[in-house]
Amino acid sequence: MTINPETSDVTRRRVLQGTALGVAAIPAVGLLGACATSGSDESGEDVENSGDAENPFDVDPSAPLSVVIFDGGYGDAYATEGHQPMYKAKFPKAEIEHMKTQKIADKLQPKFAEGSPPDVIDNSGDNRLALEKLVKDGELAELTPLLEAPSIDDPKVKVKDTLRPGVIEAGTFNGKVYALNYAYNAWGIWYDSALFKEKSWTVPTSWDEMMALCADIKKDGMAPWTYAGVHPQYLLDMAVTLAARLGGRQVSVDISNLKEDSWTNDHVMAAAEAMYSLYEKGYILEGTPGIDHIDSQTAWNKHEAAFIPCGAWIANEQKDKTPEGFEYGFLGVPALEGSTQPNLLWATGGEPFIVPEKAANKAGGYEYLRLMLTQEGAQAFADATSSPASMKGVTVDNPAANSVGSAIPEDFNDLHAPRIFELYNQLKEELRPHLGSLMKGSLKPDKFCDAMQKGVDKYREDGNEIFEEK
């Protein structure tokens, strides 16, 4: 196996990435139907699902396989020590070329342009490829053959039926699946449970309680909040979840679907005012707007701040920096007064894996993903990252992950996962600075909402394709 490491000063994670959400998921709707055949061109071959449990995609056992893994919060050990040895054991003659990088788009866009992309890509991170453009341009293989194939663990069960609800929908574009979201993730607010016990602080369940506690924390000499200032897209969860808890899940769906008034309605305005109040009252750690996710998380680990908004991979990403006795505690964004869905939580599949349409070994790419979707493959991911894959039946012995699992609402309708930044990369680049400007006080709530809506309206009016979510 050939390994080509890439290094960078940014250790980014995807917007939606892993945790032990054992019982949680978004409601599954419209799962895929009959077996399909992915398209072809001069570089990629047609791939069909023969139904043969041993080799349903007719993989050439001697064909090389190229795999690119995003080197972020999950690292790449789960691939090099778990999935790739599994593939090699099945196809001993196949040479595997492995590359890890934090610059997915920078490294791979030229490969797509040349018509020679890798066979499997973990398309994650701040520098990921724009999925909506790849789909529109026909650059991705449709994954129905994989999902309809017999699972390796039990050939009587299709691969799609081994997945947690909502995972397929997270990779669906206009009714077709082009991405396998392999990790399972929730977003929320993190705190040190041990510190809260020591200080006799009560974990807030409402925004009013949060603000009251922040006042006490500040009096105690600690900053109540920090966040990844140079990656303000992480603040999207707070904004959308606060608004959707207040006005209902449809608020989140409308934001994903780029609806008129999706950012200027009263619910989003109230959420923006709540977030702005953290700046206005001096509850944010000094210097936060200029620090990245690692610096902000490390400051939080050192008790320079009490709360940090982040996805559930934070414990794994900080495992080498977590002080002894630190206990990861998780809560959903505390609800505003009058909230109609106060338990709404952002949770879904993340870390999207894709197989390019022009991959030289498309069949091998499908089979690599099928191996990932085994109990052995999923457990390898869980063991390496302390986070489960988007498969049923995978357990993780991790207190931080268990903290997330206990926060999952029982009603599947209380889960959401807005895809606005995932689906519209160009729009993301335009909108995310506004989130940072709101939290550092340079955009007041009304101006923030106007700026976000203006960007959405222009994107829609320019005739860009919109992927409807339900």
Distance CA 265, CA 416 (A): 19
For residue 350, the surrounding DSSP H or E stretch is: strand 345-354
Helices 425-439/236-247 angle, 10° precision: 90
Residue 3 has pLDDT above 80, yes or no: no
Cβ within 8 Å of residue 304, ≥6 positions away: 222, 223, 226, 285
Hunting for tokens 């999950």 — which residue is that?
74
User: Which pLDDT value is given to residue 184?
Assistant: 82
Hunting for tokens 């809260």 — which residue is that?
196
Question: pLDDT tens for residues 335-350?
Answer: 999 999 999 999 888 8
Asked which of 22-26, 52-56, 98-102, 187-191 is least confident by mean pLDDT, the reply is 22-26
- Coil/strand/helix, residue 86: helix
Q: Predicted confidence band at 385 (pLDDT cuts at 50, 70, 90)? A: confident
Q: Predicted confidence band at 312 (pLDDT cuts at 50, 70, 90)? A: confident
Share of the chain above pLDDT 90, in %: 70
What are the start-end ranges of the H helices in 79-164? 84-90, 104-114, 131-136, 144-148
Q: Predicted confidence band at 388 (pLDDT cuts at 50, 70, 90)? A: confident
User: Domains of the chain (ranges plus CATH)?
Assistant: 2-184+350-399 (3.40.190.10), 186-347+417-461 (3.40.190.10)
Asked which of 123-132, 134-143, 284-293, 433-442 is least confident by mean pLDDT, the reply is 123-132
Long-range pairs, 83-87, Cβ under 8 A, ≥24: 83/368, 83/371, 83/372, 83/377, 83/380, 83/381, 84/1, 86/371, 86/374, 86/376, 86/377, 86/380, 87/364, 87/367, 87/368, 87/371
User: Which pLDDT value is given to residue 221?
Assistant: 97
Question: pLDDT tens for residues 68-100?
Answer: 999 988 899 999 999 999 999 999 999 999 999
Q: Which two tokens stand for residue 167?
A: 């995972």
The backbone torsions φ and ψ at residue 393, rounded to the nearest 5 degrees and listed phi first, read 85, 10
For the chain, the straight-line distance linking the first and the last C-alpha, in angstroms and rounded, comes to 43
Distance CA 371, CA 462 (A): 41
Q: Which two tokens stand for residue 456?
A: 């959405």
Q: Predicted confidence band at 451 (pLDDT cuts at 50, 70, 90)? A: very high
Q: Are 292 and 228 in contact (CB under 8 A)?
A: yes
Q: Which residue has the higher pLDDT, 224 or 347?
A: 224
User: Which pLDDT value is given to residue 111?
Assistant: 97
Distance CA 289, CA 10 (A): 16
Residue 334 has pLDDT above 60, yes or no: yes
Average pLDDT of 223-246?
A: 96
Q: Which residues of 426-460 are buried (b: 16+ CB within 10 A; e: fewer)?
A: ebbebbbebbbbbbbeebebeebbebbbebbbebe
Q: Are 374 and 85 in contact (CB under 8 A)?
A: no
Question: pLDDT tens for residues 45-68?
Answer: 689 899 999 999 999 999 999 999
User: Which pLDDT value is given to residue 57?
Assistant: 97
User: Which pLDDT value is given to residue 34?
Assistant: 30
Average pLDDT of 206-227?
A: 98
Q: Are 184 and 351 in contact (CB under 8 A)?
A: no
Residue 438 has pLDDT above 70, yes or no: yes
Distance CA 332, CA 408 (A): 9
Distance CA 243, CA 266 (A): 9
Q: Predicted confidence band at 1 (pLDDT cuts at 50, 70, 90)? A: low
172-173 and 96-101 beta bridge pairing: unpaired
User: Which pLDDT value is given to residue 117?
Assistant: 98
Q: Which residue has the higher pLDDT, 450 or 170?
A: 450
Q: Which two tokens stand for residue 328?
A: 């990861």
Residue 406 has pLDDT above 80, yes or no: no
403, HSE (Cβ side, Cα atoms, 13 Å): 24
- Coil/strand/helix, residue 158: strand
pTM of the shown model: 0.75
What is the average pLDDT score of the chain? 88
Q: Which residue has the higher pLDDT, 44 or 189?
A: 189
Helices 266-280/249-256 angle, 10° precision: 90
User: Which pLDDT value is given to residue 395?
Assistant: 75
100 - beta bridge partners? 5, 69
Q: Predicted confidence band at 38 (pLDDT cuts at 50, 70, 90)? A: very low
User: Which pLDDT value is given to residue 12?
Assistant: 33
Residue 231 has pLDDT above 80, yes or no: yes
User: Which pLDDT value is given to residue 27?
Assistant: 32
User: Which pLDDT value is given to residue 344?
Assistant: 94
Q: Which residue has the higher pLDDT, 443 or 393?
A: 443
Distance CA 191, CA 325 (A): 13
Q: Are 315 and 397 in contact (CB under 8 A)?
A: no
Going by C-alpha positions, the residue among 426, 455, 415 that lies closest to residue 186 is 415
Q: What angle do CA 371, 136, 250 make, to 5 degrees?
A: 85
Distance CA 393, CA 192 (A): 28
Q: Are 47 and 35 in contact (CB under 8 A)?
A: no
Residue 298 has pLDDT above 50, yes or no: yes
